[in-house]
Homo-oligomer: A and B are copies of this chain.
Amino acid sequence: MKRIAVLTGGGDAPGLNAVIRAVTKTAINVYGCDVLGIIDGYDGFIAPGGVIPLNLASVRGILPRGGTILGTANRGNPFARKIIRDGKELVIDVSDEVVRSIQELHLDALIVIGGDGTLHVGTELYDKGVPVIGVPKTIDNDVGGTEVTFGFDTALMIATEALDRLHTTAEAHHRVMVLELMGREAGFIALHAGISGGADVILIPEIPFNYDSIIRKVRERAEGGSKFSLLAVSEGAKPLGGQEVYARSGDAVYVPRLGGIGQVVSEYIQKQGFEARVTVLGHLQRGGSPTAFDRWLATRYGAAAVRTAARGDFGRMVALRDAKVIDVPLSEALAVPKRVNLNGDAITTARGIGISFGDE
């Protein structure tokens, strides 16, 4: 193994720099490789100045830092690149250009760090002969094949701290506080943070909710003397079919004024006579210094990716299973996206301690 390259794709997540550092250090210390950094995801292969050398000095001090020193591009899919030509938006396939660039660089391995989208592109490039190793990264924890991805623990910590803060205000003001969290398809952040932050209601994409059920829970608490409630809501949470536009006695049809599902739920609760407020945590979930766990996992992933490359096991993704870092086929990991297990002990536990999922 003489030369490897590393890139980061998709939304940023705490721990990207820790992976880059571990890749670089391991490749140089253990294998005596050259290491190249690709700037702004796959785009770097075809942009001027998109490939830079990485050495031990390049990665000094980046372990505790959020973001990525390599930059990232949200929509950098070379198989479907959006361009503007003659005033019109076109989608073109530049993947051959990317493959050619990779061949000209004489890479022995390309380590791609990213979520679903970035890893899918990696799989397609692997099918075209590129020696790809994947490193799974999501805030949402929705990548299959691994127990957990880095970035998730930091997001949980931030979401839990937010619930802690909202809790005191909810209690002081006798309010219902709604926190909207990331998770378009998978409800892991709302589920875990909701339990860790003492939420009374958790709404996730995997469990369609019923407005009445939420109100019952809020009312039951108020009648029991707890004149406040805390809701943790995934951005992808959805009401049961037919409730998207919901009626209410006195209204013709109630149309929420604006915003995401957190806003909609908050307004509904307010209309039922409870003071409610919504907070959208948004980008705060993905920035800043990674937790100890995420630094640890990201470092292990980076080092394992290089070892996997050295063994020549391409088309695979590093993964955490049973407290060990192993590697699995990329195709297998991406076959089925991970969702909250509705029969797992987490949901059972949450229901048992009195948390409502809005489906009772």
Question: Contact partner of A349 among B71, B159, B282, B303, CB < 8 A?
Answer: B303
- Closest B residue, CB atoms, query A192: B296
* Complex interface: chain B residues within 8 A of A174 (CB): 40, 71
Q: How far is the CA of A262 from the CA of B288 in the complex (A)?
A: 21
Across-interface contacts of A148 in B (CB, < 8 A): 323
Are B288 and A283 within 8 A (Cβ)? no
B contact residues around A287 at 8 Å (CB): 164-169
- C-alpha spacing A293/B192, complex, angstroms: 8
Quickly give the copy total for this chain.
4
Q: Which residues of B contact A12 (CB under 8 A)?
A: 168-169, 172-173
Is B304 in contact with A349, judged by CB distance below 8 angstroms?
yes
List, in ascending order, chain B residues with CB within 8 A of A164's CB.
Answer: 64, 287-288
Give, as a whole number of angstroms, the nearest-CB distance from A71 to chain B. Answer: 6
- Which residues from chain B contact A65 at a C-beta distance below 8 Å? 168
Contact (Cβ within 8 A) B160 A286: no
Tell whether, in the assembled complex, residue A156 and residue B71 are in contact, meaning their CB atoms are under 8 Å apart. no
Q: Mark A107-124, 1 if CB is under 8 A from B, else 0.
A: 000000000000000000
* Given A12-B168, A323-B148, residue A292 in contact with residue B196 (CB < 8 A): yes
Q: Which of B21, B284, B300, B344 contacts A346 (CB 8 A)?
A: B300
Contacts of A291 in B (CB 8 A): 157, 291
Chain A 235-289 residues near chain B, CB threshold 8 A: 258-259, 277, 279-280, 282-284, 286-288
In whole angstroms, what is the CA distance A280 to B263 when docked? 13
Which residue in chain B gives the minimum CB-CB distance to A59?
B353
A171-B67, A283-B165 given; A349·B22 CB < 8 A: yes
Option from B280, B283, B323 in Cβ contact (under 8 Å) with A166: B283
Q: Of all chain B residues, which has the CB nearest A355?
A: B25
Interface range for A:
35 or more
Q: Is residue A101 contacting chain B, with contact meaning CB distance below 8 A?
A: no
Give Cα A74 to B169, complex, Å: 12
Give the chain B neighbours of A153 by CB distance below 8 A: 292-293
Q: Does residue A312 face the partner (Cβ distance < 8 Å to B)?
A: no
Contact assessment for A304 and B353 in the assembled complex, using a CB-CB cutoff below 8 Å: no
- 28 A-B residue pairs with CB within 8 Å: A25-B352, A29-B352, A40-B174, A63-B196, A65-B168, A67-B167, A67-B168, A67-B172, A71-B171, A71-B173, A147-B322, A153-B293, A156-B293, A159-B292, A164-B288, A166-B284, A168-B288, A177-B283, A277-B282, A279-B284, A280-B280, A299-B353, A300-B345, A303-B345, A304-B349, A307-B348, A321-B322, A322-B322
The 5 A-B pairs of least Cβ separation, nearest first, read: A67-B168, A165-B287, A66-B168, A165-B288, A160-B292
